[in-house]
Amino acid sequence: MQLTEAASKEAVIVENLWFKYSREYVLKGISFTFNKRILVIVGPNGSGKTTLLKCMGGLLKPTRGKIIILGKDLWSVDEKERLELRRQIIYVHEKPFLFRGTVYRNIEYPLKIRGISAGERERRVLSVAESLGIKHLLERKSRELSAGETRLVALARAIVVEPKYLLLDEPLANLDSKKESLVLNLLKEISSKTKIIIASHRKRIFSIAEKTFILENGELRELEVSSIEGNIL
């Protein structure tokens, strides 16, 4: 399928991506183009989902292959350009890590390192905390949070910068069904501005997926969303 120039620039293009940690390849020649709103990648534990997301997030350098974001190959550009690209792609870990200090400080962090003014930082932090229902947690110490609260704070910290791409590793883990719905609705809402790629096992996540891939033995193939019934893994 030919993409228009504008759509192609917005698309994430992964070309023949290979990655190995020591001797064995975890990713074996992955190629895909993603230009929709929400992509879900499923696959058994150890299939390479996290590795793929980390490569796309600029955290792991692929052994070979290309990751083209905003029309540029993430690993061929210079450091300065890569930083600009990395700032458009936020990766949220399966077990998110929060910095020492308050929840407010954590959500504010990505804005602070981008040099955004204090007033604007405060406005955005309050707005995102409100939308995720965690405003009451803002002054709490990060170490005092439950696993579910930690996940919501990590998500808030990622979307507060309004990135072009969001890479989420198991975003529904440790959340109760009410919070799951809240997160799914929010992801759906922000997907008009932010392209989202999710690695997950959870059945509920498919309800928002526009495209689904399965990653097995380091290889990727497309699944029809409509054909998925129940928990496929």
Partner 1 sequence: MNELVSIVLRSITVSGLATLLASLWSIPLALVLTVFKTRLSRVLLDIFNSLVSIPTVVLGLCLYMILSRSGPLGFLELLYTPLAISIGQALLITPLIVSVLSNSLSRIKENVLETAFALGATSSQAYFALLHEGLPLLVRSILIGFNRAIGELGVALMLGGNIRGYTRVMTTAIALEVVKGNFEQALNLGAVFIVVIVLLTIMIRAIGEK
Shortest distance, position 58 Cβ to partner 1, whole Å: 7
Instruction: Please select the residue that binds partner 1; options are 66, 72, 86, 140, rule is CB under 8 A.
Output: 86
Does 109 interact with partner 1 (rule: CB under 8 A)? yes
Closer to partner 1 by CB, 149 or 212: give it.
Answer: 149
Among 48, 62, 96, 171, binds partner 1 (CB under 8 A): 96
User: Per CB under 8 A, does 91 bind partner 1?
Assistant: yes
The interface region with partner 1, picked from 24-32, 67-75, 106-114, 144-152 by CB under 8 A, is 106-114
- If one asks whether residue 161 binds partner 1 (CB under 8 A), the answer comes out as yes
For partner 1, how many residues bind (rule: CB under 8 A)?
A: 21
Nearest-CA neighbor of 233 among 30, 40, 25? 40
- If 0-12 CB within 10 Å is exposed, 13-18 middle and 19+ buried, where does residue 43 land? buried
| Binder of partner 1 out of 93, 140, 201, 204 (CB under 8 A) | 93
Reference 20, options 53, 66, 62, 57; nearest CA is 62
100 binds partner 1 (CB under 8 A): yes
**Residue 161 carries which side chain, given as an amino acid letter?**
V
Task: Considering only the stretches 63-71, 81-89, 177-185, 225-233, report the one whose residues sit in contact with partner 1 under the rule CB under 8 A.
Answer: 81-89
Binding letters toward partner 1, positions 172-201, x by CB under 8 A: ------------------------------
Structure tokens at 65: 């292959």
Least Cβ distance, residue 100 to partner 1 (angstroms): 6
Q: Does 152 bind partner 1 (CB under 8 A)?
A: no
**C-alpha distances out from residue 166 to 38, 156, 157, 227, Å:** 9, 12, 11, 25
Kindly write down the DSSP assignment for every residue of 61-123, as one continuous string: --SEEEEEETTEETTTS-HHHHHHHHTTEEEE-SS----SSBHHHHHHHHHHTTT--HHHHHH
Q: Which long-range contacts (CB under 8 A, 24 or more apart) does 112-120 make?
A: 114/87, 114/161
Tokens 């990395």 map to which residue?
A: 86
**Interface with partner 1 (CB under 8 A), residue from 17, 32, 50, 57:** 57
